[in-house]
């Protein structure tokens, strides 16, 4: 009796059922919860289910028929529905607990919001959490830290997927240890994690955690008996610190993460609006670049190459220009690296070779050469051989008139396939020139690895030729050229003095604004017919006498 009295005073709704599911007892809290005047002495199903929908009624009936424990939520559409926790039937008795809210076992779909591998939240939890934050009247102080492991793939590939999974579990554990109780931990997928910091002092808290995360993640893991050293990159975005809308938080954190990766990994970057502007600009230029060839926005301009001995034109270098209708002319230095990254270089490069061959085949002087720049990326497969031979065949240009200019980058990988491709072109009769010599590794072994026909001395040496160091370097490059039997050309010759100095020092050819700026293809024929080397030579000789 004393027990019953205590039940009377309880805040929790309790009911006891007999083997026929008749309510033996229900406390006042239970009656209040179900909005019933009295429930004792009547079968549970008839008294409780009076205003339930058919589905809920059926679920309740099924649950009561079974002797196992379970939970039923009544009026699921209600904002704060009543859930009945029905205990297992033992000795003809079972206890029912009634409470407001969703069943704990399902806890608002909590199970569906958890990542089964790591036990932290998944993307769904992130979305639910974001939705909750959106309801706040005052803009919450929230920071998103997106974390990506830097060498996860290597761990997966070398130690296997089980080791990879263990690494993800240990990573989640480290995140738990480094974060506060009310931070939300999410595994976005793969090796990408997210920490949502709410109600912390920003930006300090996010900086502190990001710093700590990158440091701790670079510390060794023990995985299946192996020592594994990885690192993590972190991108941070904070509401009110560069990010205005909650919906942009994840996107901005991802952009900052991308930047952290680009800066060499194992570090964190904080989003700033410039980053987004740059990313958008890059996206736009990428979009335009993919269409540029189709829209015929590329043109080739030609710059003469002249002999220093008699000043005559020996050939032209074909230079690529992108005439973008909105942004105007874009320099190759700007768009070629992007074209290489997105693979568009293959199509653009093929067009350049083909167009230059057709153009040169039309020049009146059949001894003039045409030099074409080919990216190291184009040497990654055998297509380059096909492209060159087809261009020569279709244009009718003699192979000896085509010169492919490559940078040291081509030989950087020291791949035998790349060398073989250079040899294939060489066997066709095409000459191969080493471009920008002296600016990269300037490795003599590169010069030794292939019979280059020409070394191009970079303009940085030419334009500072008054310094004795540059003079010495140019002399050394020329000496190497002479002993290897390779001709030399100086590019970027802009002044009469530079021309005279380069000529005096014994370089074979020159190219640069002093002789002529690059010109449109249609001007080349006229330029050739009217070119007079005399003024250049006269000036150079006067310089020497002086």
Partner 1 sequence: MTESLYRLVYFSRNALAGDAEAVRAEIESILECSRRNNAAANVTGALMFNGGCFAQVLEGPYGAIQVTLERIQCDARHSGLKVLAFDRRSARGFAHWSMAYVGAAANVDRFAHIAKTSAFDPSALDGEAIYDTLKANLADSALA
Strands 369-373 and 402-406: parallel
Minimum distance from CB of 258 to partner 1 (Å)? 27
Minimum distance from CB of 36 to partner 1 (Å)? 52
Cα–Cα distance for residue pair 236/149, rounded to 1 Å: 15
Binding-site ranges for partner 1 (CB under 8 A): 170, 173-174, 177-178, 212, 215-216, 219-222, 225, 227
Minimum distance from CB of 149 to partner 1 (Å)? 15
Closest CB to partner 1 among residues 216, 301: 216
Closest CB to partner 1 among residues 100, 219: 219
Minimum distance from CB of 177 to partner 1 (Å)? 4
Q: Take residue 25 and report the two structure tokens written for it.
A: 């007892």
- Partner residues linked to 404 by β-bridges: 372, 432
Closest CB to partner 1 among residues 8, 173: 173
**Peptide bond between residue 336 and the one before it cis (omega within 30 degrees of 0):** no
Closest CB to partner 1 among residues 266, 384: 266
Minimum distance from CB of 51 to partner 1 (Å)? 53
In eight-state DSSP terms, residue 540 is H
Minimum distance from CB of 203 to partner 1 (Å)? 20
Closest CB to partner 1 among residues 219, 427: 219
Nearest to 148 by CA among 213, 207, 205: 213
Cα–Cα distance for residue pair 480/464, rounded to 1 Å: 20
Minimum distance from CB of 222 to partner 1 (Å)? 5
Closest CB to partner 1 among residues 120, 500: 120
Q: Which residues contact 241 (CB under 8 A, 6 or more apart)?
A: 202, 203, 270
Cβ atoms of residues 129 and 109 within 8 Å: no
- The 3-class secondary structure across 242-293, one letter per residue, is EECCHHHHHHHHHHHHHHHHHCCCCCEEECCHHHHHHHHHHHHHHHHHHHHC
Residue corresponding to tokens 């058919």: 54
Cα–Cα distance for residue pair 187/214, rounded to 1 Å: 17
Minimum distance from CB of 391 to partner 1 (Å)? 57
Helices then strands, each counted (H, E), the chain? 20, 23
Cα–Cα distance for residue pair 528/508, rounded to 1 Å: 20
Minimum distance from CB of 197 to partner 1 (Å)? 17
**How many Cβ atoms are within 10 Å of 17's Cβ, its own excluded?**
22
CA 487 to chain centre: 42
Q: Which residues contact 325 (CB under 8 A, 6 or more apart)?
A: 297
- The 3-class secondary structure across 407-448, one letter per residue, is CHHHHCCCCHHHHHHHHHHHHHCCEEEEEEECCCCCCHHHHH
User: What's the length of the chain?
Assistant: 546
Closest CB to partner 1 among residues 173, 341: 173
Minimum distance from CB of 218 to partner 1 (Å)? 10
Minimum distance from CB of 174 to partner 1 (Å)? 6
Helix, strand, or coil (residue 31): helix
Minimum distance from CB of 166 to partner 1 (Å)? 9
Nearest to 371 by CA among 201, 157, 518, 169: 518
Helix, strand, or coil (residue 300): strand
């Amino acid at each position: 009796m004393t027990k019953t009295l205590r039940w009377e005073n309880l805040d929790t709704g309790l009911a006891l059922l007999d083997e026929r599911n008749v309510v033996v007892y229900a406390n006042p809290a239970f009656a209040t919860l179900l909005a019933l005047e009295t429930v004792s002495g009547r079968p549970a199903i008839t008294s409780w289910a009076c205003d339930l929908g058919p589905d809920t009624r059926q679920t309740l009936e099924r649950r009561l028929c079974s002797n196992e424990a379970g939970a039923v939520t009544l009026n699921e559409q209600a904002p704060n529905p009543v859930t009945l926790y029905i205990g297992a039937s033992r000795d003809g008795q079972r206890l029912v607990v009634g409470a407001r809210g969703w069943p704990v076992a399902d806890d608002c779909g909590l199970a569906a919001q958890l990542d089964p591998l790591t036990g932290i939240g998944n993307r769904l939890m992130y979305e639910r959490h974001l939705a909750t934050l959106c309801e706040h009247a005052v803009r919450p102080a929230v920071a998103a830290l997106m974390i990506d492991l830097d060498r996860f793939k290597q761990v997966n590939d070398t130690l296997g997927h089980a080791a990879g999974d263990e690494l993800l579990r240990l990573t989640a554990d480290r995140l738990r240890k480094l974060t506060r109780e009310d931070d939300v931990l999410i595994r976005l997928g793969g090796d990408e994690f997210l920490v949502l910091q709410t109600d912390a002092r920003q930006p300090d808290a996010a900086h502190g955690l990001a710093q700590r995360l990158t440091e701790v993640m670079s510390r060794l893991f023990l995985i299946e008996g192996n020592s594994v050293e990885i690192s993590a990159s972190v991108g941070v975005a904070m509401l009110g610190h560069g990010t205005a809308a909650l919906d942009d938080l994840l996107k901005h954190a991802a952009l900052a993460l991308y930047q952290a990766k680009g800066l060499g990994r194992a570090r964190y970057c904080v989003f700033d609006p410039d980053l987004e502007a740059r990313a958008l600009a890059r996206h736009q230029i990428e979009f335009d670049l993919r269409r540029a060839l189709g829209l015929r926005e590329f043109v080739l301009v030609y710059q003469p190459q002249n002999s220093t001995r008699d000043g005559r034109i020996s050939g032209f270098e074909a230079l690529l220009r992108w005439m973008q209708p909105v942004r105007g002319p874009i320099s190759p230095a700007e768009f070629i690296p992007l074209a290489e990254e997105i693979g568009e270089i293959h199509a653009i490069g093929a067009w350049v070779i083909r167009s230059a061959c057709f153009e040169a085949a039309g020049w009146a002087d059949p001894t003039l050469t045409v030099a074409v720049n080919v990216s190291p990326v184009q040497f990654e497969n055998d297509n380059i051989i096909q492209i060159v031979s087809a261009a020569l065949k279709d244009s009718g240009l003699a192979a000896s008139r085509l010169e492919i200019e490559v940078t040291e980058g081509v030989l950087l990988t020291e791949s035998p396939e790349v060398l073989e491709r250079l040899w294939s072109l060489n066997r066709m009769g095409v000459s191969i020139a080493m471009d920008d010599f002296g600016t990269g590794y300037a490795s003599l072994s590169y010069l030794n690895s292939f019979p280059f026909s020409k070394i191009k001395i970079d303009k940085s040496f030419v334009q500072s030729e008054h310094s004795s160091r540059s003079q010495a370097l140019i002399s050394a490059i020329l000496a190497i050229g002479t002993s290897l039997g390779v001709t030399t050309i100086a590019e970027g010759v802009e002044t009469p003095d530079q021309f005279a100095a380069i000529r005096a020092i014994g370089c074979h050819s020159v190219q640069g604004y002093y002789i002529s700026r690059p010109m449109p293809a249609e001007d080349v024929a006229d330029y050739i017919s009217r070119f007079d080397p005399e003024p250049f030579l006269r000036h150079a000789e006067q310089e020497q006498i002086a």
